[in-house]
Amino acid sequence: MSGDGGMGGDGGMGGNGAMSGGVLEELMRGSLDHCVKCTICETQCPVSNVTPLFPGPKYAGPQAERYRVSGEPSVDSSVDYCSGCGICSMSCPQGVKIAEINSQARNRLKQQKGFPLRDRIITRPTWLGRAGTPVAPLANLTIDFKPFRIFGEKVLGVHRNAAAPEFAGRRFSTWAKKHPSPPTGKKIVYFHNCGTEYYEPWEGEKVMQILEHNGFEVVVPKQDCCGLPLQSSGLFDDARKVVLRLARALVPYVRDDPDTLIVGNATSCTLMLKREAREILSLEDDPDLKLVSERTYDICELLLELHDRGELKTDFNPVNEHIFYHAPCQQQGHWIGKPALELFALIPGLEVTEGNARCCGIAGTYGLKAEKYDIAMAVGADLFGQVKTSGASEVACDSETCRWQITHATGHKSVHPIDYLHRAYGL
């Protein structure tokens, strides 16, 4: 007998005729009707093109989904090799929600097969961050300590060579509390994400300075993880709790003023808030998340829009560098093109090589896993090759996990695009 819609109980928010989780899941599953088997998604998938362990987006998504019955056992473990990069959904000319279907299938698979301990740990950057920050120097040593890494691989399943970032030893939020923005009346909410908080607080400082330079009063609410790593590993119930907690934390700042926006510098995490949580976790009906998703902007997206209106300060000094720009999959997944490139064009002296590789391979936490590391490195090989032959000195990239992967594989320094604006502004 078919079970409870495969969602683990009533996934909807209840009351007021809200749609059940099962109906919302059908929104993704139902999009399989648009599939005409054209193979375009297969041509774009960075994973299936390098390994036969993943049968490809067309197969794992709209094709296999016709064979899946909610409540019946999952039979295709190969869907777990999908990295969740979302390039398939973006490339599909018919609007099939391929990556989203894969994600939901992975969730059901994991619910049945169980979640490895590793997947419960590496998907919680907040825990790791809070644990590692106070003891950063020691923690960073162990991350680079080979025997520890080998032990970690055997026990936890995190590949010994995977690009693990270093703890900054301080938290961005602490700095933000000490450096409130001057009041200008033009408020903006900053969603800084775990990467900025525990690993790259200086990026957060730059974001705030750029916004302040352009007349914003930046508000930094108490906030936590967006839940994306949990979702990517198939832990949907936990991911829902985490993302809704974040939505509740941010929504009071935007509820009363229709012009207040939320801006973030981590394109994967802003994408989670904008779209992925609602679609993949079937949270379309949550009113707080809906409002937050409508107001959330990526920092480059925001700056470009300001520029279009003539509101962006363009007092840029020359930056005489040749850089390589890689747009992460989950930046492209915002479906707004690559605003960073348009911003770079405003900076005198800045020469930019636009990469045309698909994916760096890390896909959040995918490339950390022992069984997926080699696949991730094969996926990224094209990008790494392009970086090395470009002659560029640095690599601009909007997502911190991608930056770490690129540096790990090529040795090149990698920074967020706004770093160049910050430099050009002379802040």
Partner 1 sequence: MATLSTDVLVIGGGATGAGVAWDAALRGYDVVLVDRADLAEGTSGRFHGLIHSGGRYAVKDPDAAKECIHENRIIKRIAADCIEDVGGFFVTTPWDDPAYADRFIQGCRDTDVDCEEIDAAQALREEPLLNPDVSRVFRVPDANIDVWKTVWSMARGIQARGGRVLPYHAVVAIHRSGDQVTGARLRGAGTGEEIDVEARVTVNASGAWAGQVADMAGIEGVRVLPGRGIMIAMNHRLVNTCVNRCQMPTDGDIIVPIRTVCVIGTTDEHTEDPDDHTVYESEVDKMLDDGEKLVPGFRQARAMRVWTGVRPLFEDAKASDTETRDVTRAHALLDHAERDGVQGFVTITGGKLTTFRLMAEDTMTAVSKHLGDERPCTTATEPLPGSEAGEHYHLGERLSRKEARLADDQLICECELVPRWKLEEAVQRRATTNLDDIRRLLRLGMGPCQGGFCIYRATGILHGLDGLTAEQADESLLHFLQERWKGVWPILYGDQLRQARLDDWIFQGVLDVEHLPAAIPASQAEATAS
Partner 2 sequence: MRGELHYDAVVIGAGTAGLVAGARLAEGGARVCVLAKGVGSTHLAPATIDVLGYAPERVTSPSAAVEELVAARPDHPYARLGFDAIAEAVRWFSERVAAGPLPEYRYVGDVERNILLPTAVGVLRPSALVPETMAAGDAASRERVCIVGTRSLRDFHPALCAANLRRAGVDARSVDIEIDVDRADQNSLGLARRFDDPAWRAAFAGRLALKLQAHESVGLPAMLGLRDPHGAWSDVQHRLGRAVFEIPTLPPSVPGMRLYEILRSTLRRAGGRFVLGAEVVSCDRDGSRVVSVATRSAGHDAHYAAPWFVLASGGFGSGAIELDSRWATHDRILGLPLRGAPEPGAPRFVSDYLAEQPMARVGVAVDGELRAEGAENVMVAGAALPGAVPWREGSGEGIALASGSHAAQLVLARSGAPAGAAA
Which two tokens mark 281?
């976790």
Instruction: Please identify which residue in 64, 188, 243, 271 interacts with partner 2, judged by CB under 8 A.
Output: 271
Could you identify the residue written with the tokens 């990295």?
83
How many Å apart are CA 10 and CA 57, to the nearest integer? 29
**Does 72 contact partner 1 by CB under 8 A?**
yes
Site string for partner 2, 308-347 (x = CB under 8 A): xxx---------------------xxxxxx----x--x--
Contact partner, 354, from partner 2, partner 1, none, Cβ < 5-8 Å per class: partner 2
φ/ψ region of 321 (left if φ > 0, alpha if ψ in -120 to 50, else beta) reads: beta
Residue 67 beta carbon to partner 1: minimum distance, rounded to whole angstroms:
4
Binding segment (CB under 8 A) for partner 2, from list 5-13, 62-70, 267-275, 366-374: 267-275
3 scored as a contact of partner 1 (CB under 8 A): yes
268 CB contacts (<8 Å, ≥6 apart)?
A: 228, 328, 330, 331, 364, 399, 401
State the minimum distance, in angstroms, from the CB of residue 33 to partner 1.
Answer: 4
How far is CA 17 from its chain centroid?
32
Nearest-approach distance from CB 281 to partner 1, in angstroms: 16
Give, in order, the Cα–Cα distances in Å from 172 to each of 177, 210, 220: 9, 16, 10
Enumerate residues 71-110 that contact partner 2 by CB under 8 A. Answer: 89-95
Distances (CA, A) of 298 to 190, 390, 422: 10, 27, 16
Instruction: List Cβ neighbours of 318 (8 Å cut-off, separation of 6 or more).
Output: 347, 348, 349, 350, 424
Location of structure tokens 């000094």: 317
Does 348 interact with partner 2 (rule: CB under 8 A)?
Answer: no
Q: Report the distance separating Cα 158 and Cα 228, nearest Å.
A: 18
Does residue 255 touch partner 2 according to CB under 8 A?
A: no
Alpha-carbon distance of 378 to 295, in angstroms, equals 37
| Residue 275 binding partner per list partner 1, partner 2, none, with a CB distance cut-off of 5 to 8 Å that depends on partner kind | partner 2
The reply to whether 34 sits near partner 2 by the rule CB under 8 A is: yes
Q: CB of 332: closest distance to partner 1 in angstroms?
A: 24
Total count of residues recorded for the chain: 427
| 8 Å CB contact between 70 and 3 | yes
Among 293, 365, 401, 410, binds partner 2 (CB under 8 A): 293
Is 73 or 348 the residue whose CB approaches partner 1 more closely?
Answer: 73
- Cβ distance to partner 2 smaller for residue 91 or 140: 91
Minimum distance from residue 93 beta carbon to partner 1 (Å)? 9
Q: With CB under 8 A as the rule, give the number of residues binding partner 2.
A: 42
User: Applying CB under 8 A, does 374 fall inside the site for partner 1?
Assistant: no
DSSP state of 413: E
Check: CB of residue 82 under 8 Å from CB of residue 88.
Answer: no
In the sheet with 351-354, reading across from the earlier edge strand, the strands are 351-354, 322-326, 394-397, 413-415
Can residue 296 be called a binding residue for partner 2 (CB under 8 A)? yes
Pick what 304 binds: partner 1, partner 2, none; C-beta below 5 to 8 Å, kind-dependent: partner 2
* Positions in the binding site for partner 1 (CB under 8 A): 1-5, 10, 20, 22-23, 25-26, 29-30, 32-38, 52-53, 55, 58-59, 63-78, 94
* Positions in the binding site for partner 2 (CB under 8 A): 34, 38-40, 42-44, 49, 52, 55-56, 89-95, 271, 273-275, 293-297, 304-305, 307-310, 332-337, 342, 345, 354
